[in-house]
Copies of this chain bind each other. A is one copy, B any other.
Amino acid sequence: MAATEESLRRNLAEMLSAVESQGSSVRALKASKAPITEIDAAIEALNRLKLEKSSIERELQSIVSGNGADSSVTREAFRQAVANTLERRLFYIPSFKIYRGVAGLYDYGPPGCAVKSNVLSFWRQHFVLEEDMLEVDCPCVTPEVVLKASGHVDKFTDLMVKDEKTGTCYRADHLLKDFCKDKLEKDLSISAEKAAELKQVLATLDDFSAEELGAKIKEYGIIAPDTKNPLSDPYPFNLMFQTSIGPSGLTPGYMRPETAQGIFVNFKDLYYYNGNKLPFAAAQIGQAFRNEISPRQGLLRVREFTLAEIEHFVDPENKSHPKYSEVVNLEFLMFPREEQMSGQSARNIPLGEAVSKGIVNNQTLGYFIGRVYLFLTRLGIDKKRLRFRQHLANEMAHYAADCWDAEIESSYGWIECVGIADRSAFDLKAHTDKSGVALVAQEKFLEPKELEELVIVPVKKELGLAFRGNQKNVVEALEAMNEKEAMDMKAELESKGEMEFYVCTLEKNVCIKKNMLSISKEKKKVHHRVFTPSVIEPSFGIGRIIYCLYEHSFYTRPSKAGDEQLNVFRFPPLVAPIKCTVFPLVQSQKYDEVAKVISKSLKVAGISHKIDITGTSIGKRYARTDELGVPFAITVDKTSSVTIRERDSKDQIRVNVDEAASVVNAVIDGQRTWEDIWSSYPHHSEESEE
């Protein structure tokens, strides 16, 4: 909410200065006795700006006055405008639409597919190639044993309630959340105490057990929203799609809920491939599946999605990062645990400060937070609507050392798009235990180290005499003592000569005497140490990032005639589905030939482009490609030279035919900026065509 307000204030400030400057222009035109049509046009523009200004003022007022209704209407309208454009231009399509679709499944249509492919290429460039990561590609079908070890079979659940008559399923927490929100927003008669209680429920909802959720649902009398029927008690529903591998029906399997496990189970081979050296990172891009109970929030909560995950393996005793200095000076919105608990907002913190003050647990985690920030903002995510939020203690798994989410603000609120977690040694240990294969690393010491080692030597003769058939159990229990237990025993045996000792496998105490064993510490030279690496895991929800990018890139502007609002996606060239269009101004063989020549040189330069030779007006053709976010349009209006139009400024320059492709290429490649191009070539006025 705070950021929406902030961004509105910024927009308003910009708009005020635009109104002011346009006002001066009008006055100047009048003073200089310019032609009446010019003055009229300037006044018209001024009026449009004023209108836009008041609309921002209204929205801001509604937020400040605490009445979010207006702004939520605006948000809803904005979301609808984006969704309409996306669906009409086939950025996405509800899957299996002709069969009335399936909730939570979407197709990427041609432009969406191109955007996705660009985002993934950039991800590979930015992470895998620049960081020398080991990329792997594992199957989606996963046998049960793997997901048993990872904990997914037992714990990857949501709590569900059923309509007791129709059997329709709902997420229990969603129903409770909706009820509380609704009550707070619409029932003005509730007491302050009640309101506080409901707010408390909303804040702690995620921690509720099945019993607590069930109790609240009963207490509030919540019923099935569609039928008003009573609801069952909440019970866990596993979110994995289950299947069976092979024809026998005896090997249960699941569609993987994340790609990470494929990397963990390959740790040993990957470590070897990396020359048995740490740290190293492995990465995987692929489909993941979650059988959501009732998917909502359109493209943000889906049943199948593309994940891009990194598992960075590191020595738990040394989590420094060699390239940390490259990100240390970045500064962006961070939302540490403390600030959340004390009700403050996210604030700009230099990354170096966050790490050095221990807000971020370690350098490597900090390094990845910085790299994720660079990745997202280079894609075109608005840095003012991006924050890194630290998990609260209750959100974090018990084994995790620290965890941050890159959250992006959208019309649905702040959305978790990337999770960056220090998962310690949990995953490798879990698979070591289950598989019996040691997933460990070794540190070879440059010089052997002298370490004290605990040595327990049972005296079998004495033990045999004392315990006979139970001797084996007692010996095993003695040998299994840790250092503290053993040293305590040694002290007690030395002072008292004997002691009681509990043997688990016998389920009873036995009496151990001084002559039954020797306990000592011996110095030993060790040449290496064996340990389970920690893993730092940045995990990217590609579909969510793309959806937020759509919202951040979308805007509307009036058509030339002022009679309609036109849609634009301001994608940077990096993600734009098509980089350039080529338009012969009018249908003519000459122009078509020129267009073909240009197309050929664009192809050689590897620039994805389209030719549109329909006779549609050039203004309409521009509008059509603005809506796809195409950054540049080359219009063939002569046979010797052509114009290049930039999407957002609508500025046009004139270049020779044989230069066109290389000029576009230079801007797309980032060798030159459009401003630079704009100042180097003759300008072209669009008056005549649009």
* CB <8 Å contact, B266 and A97: yes
Segment touching B, from A204-212, A242-250, A336-344: A242-250
Contact with A237, one of B96, B146, B160, B247 (Cβ below 8 angstroms) = B247
Segment touching B, from A5-13, A108-116, A584-592: A108-116
Asked if A385 is an interface residue, CB under 8 A from chain B, the answer is no
The closest CB in chain B to the CB of A144 belongs to B99
Find chain B residues with CB under 8 A from A245 CB.
102, 241, 291, 303
Asked if A143 is an interface residue, CB under 8 A from chain B, the answer is yes
Smallest Cβ distance from A225 to chain B, in angstroms?
A: 16
Contact with A113, one of B99, B106, B135, B265 (Cβ below 8 angstroms) = B135
**A-to-B contact residues, CB < 8 Å:** 90, 93, 95-99, 102-103, 105-110, 112-114, 116-117, 124, 129-130, 132, 134-143, 145-146, 160, 167-169, 237, 241-248, 251, 253, 255, 262, 265-266, 268-270, 273, 275, 287, 289, 291-294, 303-304, 431, 434-435, 437, 439, 603, 608, 610, 614
* CB <8 Å contact, B135 and A114: yes
How far, in whole Å, are A304 and B237 apart by their CA atoms in the complex?
27
Contact with A248, one of B108, B168, B246 (Cβ below 8 angstroms) = B168
* CB <8 Å contact, B136 and A107: yes
* CB <8 Å contact, A291 and B246: yes
Q: Is the interface of A mostly helix, strand, loop or mixed?
A: mixed
With A140-B287, A242-B243 known, 20 other A-B pairs at CB within 8 A are A95-B139, A96-B143, A96-B265, A97-B266, A98-B437, A99-B143, A99-B145, A102-B141, A102-B251, A102-B253, A106-B139, A110-B134, A113-B136, A114-B135, A132-B610, A140-B304, A169-B246, A241-B244, A243-B255, A246-B291
* CB <8 Å contact, B142 and A113: no
The closest CB in chain B to the CB of A268 belongs to B98
* CB <8 Å contact, B137 and A90: no
How far, in whole Å, are A114 and B96 apart by their CA atoms in the complex?
32
* CB <8 Å contact, B90 and A273: yes
The closest CB in chain B to the CB of A254 belongs to B243
Find chain B residues with CB under 8 A from A169 CB.
246-248
Given the known inter-chain contacts A102-B245, A248-B168, A291-B245, please indicate yes or no for A137 contacting B160, CB distance below 8 A: no
How far, in whole Å, are A138 and B102 apart by their CA atoms in the complex?
12
* CB <8 Å contact, B291 and A247: yes
Find chain B residues with CB under 8 A from A262 CB.
95, 107
Find chain B residues with CB under 8 A from A106 CB.
139
Find chain B residues with CB under 8 A from A435 CB.
98-99
Find chain B residues with CB under 8 A from A135 CB.
110, 113-114, 117
* CB <8 Å contact, B98 and A141: no
Find chain B residues with CB under 8 A from A291 CB.
244-247
* CB <8 Å contact, B266 and A93: yes
How far, in whole Å, are A247 and B248 apart by their CA atoms in the complex?
25
13 pairs from A and B in contact (CB 8 Å cutoff): A98-B265, A99-B146, A102-B251, A109-B266, A113-B137, A139-B303, A140-B255, A140-B289, A141-B304, A169-B247, A169-B248, A246-B294, A247-B291
Smallest Cβ distance from A4 to chain B, in angstroms?
A: 32
The closest CB in chain B to the CB of A239 belongs to B247
How far, in whole Å, are A111 and B303 apart by their CA atoms in the complex?
31
The closest CB in chain B to the CB of A245 belongs to B102
Find chain B residues with CB under 8 A from A138 CB.
95, 107-108
Find chain B residues with CB under 8 A from A116 CB.
137
Smallest Cβ distance from A432 to chain B, in angstroms?
A: 9
Find chain B residues with CB under 8 A from A90 CB.
269-270, 273
Smallest Cβ distance from A266 to chain B, in angstroms?
A: 6
Find chain B residues with CB under 8 A from A247 CB.
160, 169, 237, 291, 293
Given the known inter-chain contacts A139-B107, A246-B291, please indicate yes or no for A269 contacting B167, CB distance below 8 A: no
Find chain B residues with CB under 8 A from A243 CB.
241-243, 255
* CB <8 Å contact, A112 and B137: yes
* CB <8 Å contact, A124 and B117: yes
* CB <8 Å contact, B167 and A248: yes
Given the known inter-chain contacts A136-B113, A241-B244, please indicate yes or no for A141 contacting B105, CB distance below 8 A: yes
How far, in whole Å, are A247 and B253 apart by their CA atoms in the complex?
17
Find chain B residues with CB under 8 A from A439 CB.
98
Find chain B residues with CB under 8 A from A275 CB.
614
